């Protein structure tokens, strides 16, 4: 009898093993795995340059530190001693910001001169010299050496701009020197120095390669300095400040900060007004700033303000008590009683009280002060007094005295010498005592 056949065409012995049957992955699984593989490939492609750079830097650092490699490295060729060298007549004014014109410490354009190496004195050549102004790394030359070869200056000193950026130094970078000097009228950095290893730049000057056939002329460079982003210039301090500067240009006073708002509320808006109050009412000025300004901060701020030049203008304030001459920040320049000039050192206690009163009145009426002319200031028909006590002053009862840091009170003549008054005479402080 024939064996029974299954309808699926397989015999019992021909059926496949169930364990060997594998399920095909679904379509969504295939798409998900492909997406994951693509993401990993993209990640590796992004990280590859970083890994290469890190490995390269570490290998280079290890090779440089290797004693064997150091022995095989070619030595820097000795620098040929030049007969002349380039130099900056004055250093640049700091700080330097991107996009801002670079000037010297006197506010003039940078000037490059030719110097004789042997004598250090300025030199001249009949031939005109082509000069290049280049940006340098702040840590060049290595080990603070004073000599270097021209090839080393080119290869290790000059710094290139970042990829995709403008030339690092723009302006008058190619000049012609005649008679031993040339001015750099326009020069500015286009990028800050935060991205270089030493965080600083220098300004270098060299002879244009191939432009001179004579003896080597040494390169010049400035001291290393930080180049800040131009946005910081809006808030930078001035060294020294000028009378018309906003008061926040002083150290420890931030723009729109608490101290700035307090001073503005009390009509102290610029450096001149700050110095006037500092001269006449220092305690009141200190009280305005409050406890938030420590003694150390107060010292820094006032010392910075005192570097401001008061200028040559002198103003006169006159009453029946006498006449005083003050400069633009209310410092005493000259005192007259009864038309006679009196040295401050010869005034007695009562007379110094009157001077203090006049000074305070002049401060309160500073907008009405009249500028003194040179004849009135320097010419006087009366000789200086040897004994200031001979001057006749108005009676004390006729004029109320305002004593700093005290309430208004009436004094008897005998009581006046007991008071102490700080008087500032052309920058010097005198304690008035009986």
As separate numbers, helices (DSSP H) first and strands (DSSP E) second, the chain gives: 9, 19
CATH superfamily, domain 84-231, is Immunoglobulins (2.60.40.10)
Model pLDDT, residue 65: 60
- According to the model, what pLDDT value does residue 227 have? 93
DSSP letters along 253-316, please?
Answer: --TTSHHHHHHHHTT--BHHHHHHHHHH-HHHHHHHH-TTS-HHHHHHHHHHHHTS---S-EEE
CA angle 226, 140, 136 (to 5 degrees): 55
- Percentage helix, strand, coil for the chain under 3-state DSSP, each rounded to 5: 35, 20, 45
- pLDDT tens, residue by residue, 61-90: 676 566 554 444 455 555 556 788 999 999
pLDDT score at 48: 75
Q: Which residues of 150-162 are buried (b: 16+ CB within 10 A; e: fewer)?
A: bebbeebbbbeee
CA-to-CA distance for 326 and 352, rounded, in angstroms? 15
Q: Partners of 112 in the beta sheet?
A: 88, 182
For 312-336, write each residue's pLDDT tens digit: 899 999 888 788 899 999 999 888 8
Please state the φ and ψ torsions of residue 147, each to the nearest 5 degrees: -130, 150
What pLDDT is stored for residue 404 in this prediction?
40
pLDDT given at position 41: 77
What three-state secondary structure class fits 149? coil
Buried residues in 163-201 as b, exposed as e (16+ CB within 10 A): eeeeebbebebebebeebebebeebbbbbbbeebeeebb
Domain boundaries of the chain, sorted by first residue: 84-231, 237-306, 314-406+415-432
CA distances from 391 to 261, 388, 412, 425 (A): 46, 6, 19, 20
| Whole-angstrom distance, CA of residue 216 vs CA of residue 149 | 10
Calpha distance 236→379 (Å, rounded): 43
* Contact between residue 391 and residue 338 where contact means Cβ atoms under 8 Å apart: yes
pLDDT in tens, 241-268: 999 999 999 999 988 899 999 999 999 9
Say what the pTM is: 0.46
DSSP at 214 = S
Which residues, given as ranges, of the chain have pLDDT below 50?
1, 7-12, 69-73, 375, 379-421, 427-434
Task: Answer yes or no: are the C-beta atoms of 92 and 104 closer than 8 Å.
Answer: yes
pLDDT of residue 387: 37
- Cα distances from 222 to residues 102, 341, 372, in angstroms, run 12, 51, 45
At 369 the pLDDT is: 84
Q: Which two tokens stand for residue 6?
A: 């299954």
Distance CA 93, CA 104 (A): 5
Q: Are 358 and 319 in contact (CB under 8 A)?
A: yes
Cis status, amide bond into 141, omega within 30 of 0: yes
Distance CA 126, CA 306 (A): 48
């Amino acid at each position: 009898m024939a064996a029974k056949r299954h309808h699926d065409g397989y015999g019992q012995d021909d059926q496949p093993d169930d364990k060997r049957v594998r399920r095909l992955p679904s379509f969504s699984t295939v798409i998900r795995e492909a997406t994951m593989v693509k993401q990993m490939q993209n990640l590796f492609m992004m990280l590859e340059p970083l890994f290469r750079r890190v490995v390269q830097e570490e290998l280079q650092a290890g090779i440089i530190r290797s004693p064997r490699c150091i022995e095989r490295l070619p030595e820097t060729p000795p620098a040929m001693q030049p007969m002349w060298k380039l130099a900056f007549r004055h250093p640049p004014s700091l700080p330097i910001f991107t996009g801002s014109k670079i000037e010297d410490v006197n506010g003039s354009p940078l000037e490059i001169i030719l110097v004789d190496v042997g004598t250090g004195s300025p030199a001249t050549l009949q031939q005109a010299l082509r000069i290049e102004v280049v940006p340098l790394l702040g840590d060049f030359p290595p080990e603070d050496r004073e000599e270097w070869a021209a090839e080393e200056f080119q290869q290790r000193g000059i710094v290139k701009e970042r990829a995709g950026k403008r030339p690092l130094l723009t302006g008058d970078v190619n000049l012609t020197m005649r008679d031993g000097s040339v001015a750099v009228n326009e020069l500015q950095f286009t990028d800050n120095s935060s991205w270089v290893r030493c965080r600083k730049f220098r300004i270098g000057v060299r002879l244009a390669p191939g432009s001179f056939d004579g003896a080597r002329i040494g390169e010049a460079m400035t001291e290393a300095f930080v180049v800040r982003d131009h946005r910081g210039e809006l808030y930078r301090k001035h060294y020294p400040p000028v009378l018309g500067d906003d008061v926040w240009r002083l150290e420890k006073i931030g723009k729109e900060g608490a101290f700035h708002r307090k001073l503005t509320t009390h009509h102290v808006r610029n450096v001149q007004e700050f110095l006037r109050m500092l001269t006449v009412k220092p305690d009141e000025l200190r009280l305005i700033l409050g406890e938030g300004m420590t003694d150390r901060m107060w010292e820094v701020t006032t010392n910075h303000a005192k570097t401001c030049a008061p200028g040559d203008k002198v103003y006169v304030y006159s009453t029946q008590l006498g006449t005083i001459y003050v400069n633009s920040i209310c410092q005493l320049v000259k005192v007259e009683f009864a038309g006679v000039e009196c040295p401050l050192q010869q005034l007695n206690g009562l007379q110094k009280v009157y001077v203090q009163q006049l000074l305070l009145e002049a401060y309160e009426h500073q907008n009405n002060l009249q500028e003194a002319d040179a004849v009135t200031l320097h010419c006087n028909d009366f000789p200086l007094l040897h004994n200031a006590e001979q001057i006749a002053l108005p009676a004390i009862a006729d004029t109320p005295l305002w004593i700093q840091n005290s309430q208004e009170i009436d004094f008897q003549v005998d009581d006046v010498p007991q008071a102490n008054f700080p008087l500032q005479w052309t920058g010097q402080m005198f304690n008035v005592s009986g």
